[in-house]
Amino acid sequence: MIASEMDPKVLEAARWLVLGDHDNRRPAVPQLRERFGVNLHEAAAPSREAHLIRARTH
């Protein structure tokens, strides 16, 4: 899936992870659930996309 086809909420959450705006002392998934209102299954998509974004920058 390319970014233009992605759910905007997923892309926003992925960017949030990549930019480091989350609390690094806490696990990211609970923060995604709190901030973006996603369930556990949905929290995997932003995590996966954040990983891909980081990989493309190196």
Beta-carbon-side half-sphere exposure of residue 3 (alpha carbons within 13 Å):
10
Give yes or no for a contact between 55 and 12, defined as CB atoms under 8 angstroms apart.
no
Confidence of residue 57 (pLDDT cuts 50, 70, 90): confident
Residue ranges of domains in the chain? 7-56
Q: Regarding predicted confidence, which is higher, 2 or 33?
A: 33
pLDDT digits (tens, 9 = 90+) for 9-39: 889 999 999 998 889 899 999 999 999 998 8
Q: Whole-prediction pTM value?
A: 0.76
Local structure of 7: helix, strand or coil: coil
* Token duo for residue 52: 């891909």
